Amino acid sequence: MTSTEAPAPNDIRDTPIVGIIMGSQSDLKIMGAAAELLRQFAIPYEITLVSPHRTPHRMVEYAESARKRGLRVIIAGGGGAAHLPGMVAAFTTIPVIGVPINSTTSIRGIDSVLSMLQMPVGVPVATVAIDAATNAAVLATQILGLSNARLADVLEKYRSSLKDKVMRTIDELRKGGFNDDI
């Protein structure tokens, strides 16, 4: 395999296959949740700053080189006008998952959500809830799990752990005198 070829679908290794990008260091407190889940799932990722306004050439280079570098999914956080996810999607054909970030505006991230949802035909951005970087990592894992049995299994175990947590909480409520009629 030459250095410009993407890894085979089942070839999960140390080369990043998910890119996590954000326009500002202040977004790291949100986007770090995606990195943490990918780390738990043993999915190689990279995380960096790519500002569509302050470093537009870097953004274009990042997006255009993503596939050749082996990335299969990009998780892009954006606050305010949230240009980063949509602009990156315009320069690559790999899936881009947008994470709207709650900005300091009076509409608390709704502007970011709308920016990501209103993409033109042919340039979609899969969009999760405001500040939901963990769900972006889950969605990235679902996409990768379509061609990787280990990741599909990791997701099954993750979902099962979520169910187990709810069931433990129900048991704790019952022990505390609350009844569950479900």
Distance CA 51, CA 84 (A): 7
- Would the pLDDT of 121 be above 90? yes
Distance from the Cα of residue 103 to its chain's centroid: 18
Percent of the chain with pLDDT over 70: 89
Count other Cβ atoms within 10 Å, centred on residue 152: 14
As given in the structure block, the two tokens for residue 166 are: 């709810």
Choose the weakest-confidence range: 9-13, 25-29, 178-182.
Answer: 9-13
DSSP alpha helix (H) spans, 66-123: 83-90, 110-117
